[in-house]
């Protein structure tokens, strides 16, 4: 956008306090930081950092396995990035805003849908994920309670 409007200083469309940048958007901005901190409570790696580069670096050190927690960690990060970018663009180009709670609920619903699409085995990890995300195990799937 800086190439298209070189004279204009673009402030963050989420908080309006600092210049727009990728590092600020993920997760230094008050708005995105609040969402990330709230959703991190539903991860096994609650100690994940709050900068996108650091998060990716930490998650990439863990091999991708079929472990349910591995899936949740990666889907949660991808969903946060996707929906925060969508919110940024919606505010910039459509002048539509969602509150932190609204966007958090959208992200949580998206993750629940992703969880309901995968086959799972009856294990303590799956039961823990189901409990944390307000789902229940039914045969080889997670379903809404």
Tell me the per-residue pLDDT of 49-75, one tens digit each, with 9 for 90 and over: 888 999 888 888 877 788 899 899 999
Tens-digit pLDDT profile for residues 86-101: 999 999 889 999 999 9
CB atoms within 10 A of CB 87: 24
The answer to whether the pTM exceeds 0.85 is yes
The token pair that represents 100 in the structure block: 């932190």
Q: How big is the chain, counted in residues?
A: 145
């Amino acid at each position: 956008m800086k190439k298209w409007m070189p004279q204009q200083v673009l402030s963050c469309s989420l908080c309006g306090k600092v210049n727009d940048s990728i590092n600020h958007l993920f997760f230094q901005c008050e708005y995105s930081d609040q969402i990330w901190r709230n959703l991190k409570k539903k991860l096994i790696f609650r100690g994940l950092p709050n900068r996108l580069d650091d998060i990716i670096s930490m998650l990439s050190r863990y091999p991708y396995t079929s472990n349910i927690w591995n899936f949740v960690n990666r889907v949660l990060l991808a969903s946060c990035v996707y929906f925060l970018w969508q919110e940024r663009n919606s505010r910039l180009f459509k002048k539509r805003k969602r509150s932190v709670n609204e966007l958090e609920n959208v992200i949580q619903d998206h993750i629940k849908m992703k969880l309901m699409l995968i086959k799972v085995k009856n294990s303590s990890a799956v039961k823990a994920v189901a409990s944390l995300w307000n789902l229940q195990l039914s045969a080889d799937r997670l379903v809404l309670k």
